[in-house]
C-alpha cells in the first residue's frame, strides 16, 4: 500500500513590528485563531519572549530585522526560504513617528523613516506576493492610520503622507489580486493605546478626549476580521467612522482649517 504523502506546510502569517503595540496584538490574535506565525522586529529579546508564550498555541518563527536597513527585506525573505517557511498572510505593521516640523530632523532620519514606512512595505510585498497569490487564500493587511483619511497635520510631516500611500497601495493591490482570492486591507486606526507616543515622547502632551482612544487588541481584531471579509478599508471605532463620514462631506478648505486649529492642541510642535 503506497505511503500517504506528507501534509503540506500550513501558510504562516508574517507580522512586522511584532514586538509591541498593534503588531503584537495582531500576532496574538492570529495565534488565538490557530495561524502559525513569523515575528519580526528590531528587538529580538521581545520577539523571543512573545514567541515562547505563543508557541503554546501555534508554531512560531522569529527573524529579527531592522527594516530601516535597505538590505533587510531581501534578507528576511531569504531566511524564510532557507527555513522552508511559506507565507500566506503578510501584515505590514512596522512603523513609528517623527515628531516636529520637517526641517527639525536630519535628512538621514527622514530617509530611514520612509524606508521603514513605505519602501520596505513595497519590497516585502513584491517579494512575497507570488506565494500569497499561489495559496488561493492569501491575505495582506497594511496597518495605515486614520491620518491617511484626514488633511495632514502640523508636525510629523511625513507620517500622514506615508500612511496615505499605504491606503492607495492597498486599494491597487486589492484590485490587482482579487482574481486569485487575495484580500488586501488598509487598517486605519485613530489614537491607540500603545508605545507609539511613548517612543516619540509626545504622550505627556497629548490632549485627546478619552473616548477617542482605542485598545490595541480591538484594533487588531477589527483589522483581521475586516481583512477576512474582504474589506479594503477598515476604520476601527464608531466615533472614527462618524468623523470620517463628516470630513468627506466638508470642503477641503474647511477641513484644512479644522486641522490647523487642532494640530497644536492634539500634537504640539
- Burial degree of 171 (CB within 10 A; 0-12, 13-18, 19+): middle
Residue 231, pLDDT > 60, answer: yes
What's the rounded Cα separation, in Å, for the pair 166 and 185? Answer: 10
Task: Express each pLDDT in 46-93 by its tens digit.
Answer: 999 999 999 999 999 999 999 999 999 999 999 999 999 999 999 999
Side-chain half-sphere exposure of 46, counting CA atoms within 13 A = 14
What's the rounded Cα separation, in Å, for the pair 157 and 217? Answer: 28
pTM equals 0.90
Three-state DSSP at 37 gives strand
Compare 141 and 269 and report the one with higher pLDDT: 141
Residue 224, pLDDT > 70, answer: yes
- At 268, list the grid cell: 504640539
What percent of the chain lies above the pLDDT cut of 70?
89
Neighbours of 201 (CB within 10 A): 10
Band of the pLDDT at 261, cuts 50, 70, 90? Answer: confident
CATH of domain 12-266: 3.40.50.720
Whole-Å CA distances, 115 to 18, 162, 186: 18, 10, 19
For 24-56, b where at least 16 C-beta lie within 10 A, e where not — what string? Answer: bbbbbbbbeeebbbbbbbbeeebbeebbeebee
What's the rounded Cα separation, in Å, for the pair 79 and 148? Answer: 33
Q: Where are the domains of the chain?
A: 12-266
For 230-265, b where at least 16 C-beta lie within 10 A, e where not — what string? Answer: ebbbbbbbeebeebbeebeeeeeeebeeebeeebee
What's residue 264's pLDDT? 61
Q: Helices in 136-251 by DSSP H: which ranges? A: 159-177, 196-199, 216-229, 238-249
What's residue 260's pLDDT? 82
Residues tagged active-site? 159
Task: Express each pLDDT in 108-145 by its tens digit.
Answer: 999 999 999 999 999 999 999 999 999 999 999 999 99
What's residue 267's pLDDT? 54
Mean pLDDT of 187-213: 72
- At 54, list the grid cell: 505563543
Compare 2 and 213 and report the one with higher pLDDT: 213
138 contacts: CB under 8 Å, gap ≥ 6:
11, 88, 89, 131, 132, 177, 180, 181, 182, 183
Lowest-pLDDT range, 14-18, 148-152, 200-204? 200-204
What's the rounded Cα separation, in Å, for the pair 67 and 265? Answer: 32
What's residue 56's pLDDT? 98
Amino acid at each position: 500500500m503506497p505511503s500517504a504523502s506528507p501534509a503540506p506546510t500550513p501558510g504562516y502569517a508574517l507580522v512586522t513590528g511584532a514586538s509591541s503595540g498593534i503588531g503584537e496584538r495582531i500576532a496574538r490574535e492570529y495565534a488565538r485563531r490557530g495561524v502559525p506565525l513569523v515575528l519580526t522586529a528590531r528587538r529580538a529579546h521581545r520577539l523571543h519572549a512573545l514567541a515562547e508564550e505563543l508557541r503554546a498555541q501555534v508554531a512560531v518563527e522569529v527573524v529579527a530585522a531592522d527594516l530601516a536597513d535597505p538590505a533587510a527585506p531581501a534578507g528576511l525573505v531569504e531566511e524564510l526560504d532557507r527555513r522552508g517557511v511559506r507565507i500566506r498572510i503578510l501584515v505590514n505593521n512596522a512603523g513609528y513617528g517623527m515628531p516636529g516640523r520637517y526641517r527639525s530632523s536630519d535628512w538621514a532620519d527622514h530617509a530611514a523613516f520612509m524606508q521603514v514606512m513605505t519602501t520596505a512595505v513595497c519590497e516585502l510585498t513584491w517579494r512575497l506576493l507570488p506565494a500569497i497569490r499561489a495559496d488561493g487564500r492569501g491575505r495582506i493587511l497594511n496597518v495605515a492610520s486614520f491620518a491617511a483619511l484626514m488633511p495632514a497635520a502640523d508636525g510629523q510631516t511625513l507620517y500622514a503622507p506615508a500612511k496615505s500611500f499605504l491606503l492607495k497601495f492597498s486599494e491597487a493591490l486589492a484590485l490587482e489580486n482579487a482574481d486569485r482570492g487575495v484580500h488586501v486591507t488598509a487598517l486605519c486606526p485613530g489614537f491607540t493605546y500603545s508605545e507609539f507616543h511613548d517612543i516619540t515622547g509626545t504622550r505627556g502632551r497629548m490632549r485627546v478626549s478619552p473616548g477617542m482612544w482605542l485598545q490595541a487588541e480591538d484594533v487588531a481584531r477589527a483589522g483581521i476580521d475586516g481583512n477576512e471579509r474582504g474589506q479594503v478599508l477598515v476604520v476601527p471605532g464608531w466615533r472614527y467612522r462618524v468623523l470620517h463620514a463628516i470630513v468627506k462631506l466638508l470642503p477641503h478648505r474647511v477641513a484644512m482649517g479644522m486641522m490647523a486649529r487642532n494640530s497644536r492642541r492634539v500634537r504640539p510642535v
